[in-house]
Amino acid sequence: MSPFFDYSGLDVTKSELIEMLARKQPHLALKDVELAVRCVVDHLSDTLASGDRIEIRGFGSFSLHHRSARLGRNPKTGDSVSLTEKHVPHFKPGKELRDMVDASREKFKIVD
């Protein structure tokens, strides 16, 4: 047994998302919804990995931010390490998502 409490079960996971979708699409087999969700997620990842943006109206947009090469440090030893330039994904929530999440602040505690 891990001495740390496992919080992971409290987040909504991909498999729970699949179940929620399947309940709303009763004419589709669970297996097909699972394939569809995997296809959606893979397509999102592939798009970012090839340097393209994603824009989902009402939800938000994903883009890549550039990080220049820099000298970093190994936090354990203090040795300096040279880090090459790279890209990192960035998500900007859309207005609708921002507003609905902010409006729910008083109604629901953050589950974690």
Partner 1 sequence: MALTKADIAEKLFEDLGLNKREAKEIVELFFDEIKKSLESGEQVKISGFGKFELRDKSGRPGRNPKTGEEIPITPRRVVTFRTGQKLKARVEAYAGTQ
Q: How far is the CB of 103 from partner 1 (least distance, A)?
A: 8
Establish if 98 lies at the interface with partner 1 (CB under 8 A).
yes
Determine the Cα–Cα distance for residues 73 and 26; give it in Å rounded to an integer. 53
Establish if 34 lies at the interface with partner 1 (CB under 8 A).
no
Angstrom distances, CA of residue 102 to CA of 31, 56, 108: 35, 19, 10
Give SS3 for 61.
strand
User: Using CB under 8 A as the criterion, which residues of the chain lie in contact with partner 1 when the complex forms?
Assistant: 8, 10-14, 17, 20-21, 24-25, 28, 32-33, 35-37, 39-41, 43-45, 47-64, 66, 86-91, 93, 96-98, 100-102, 104-105, 108-112
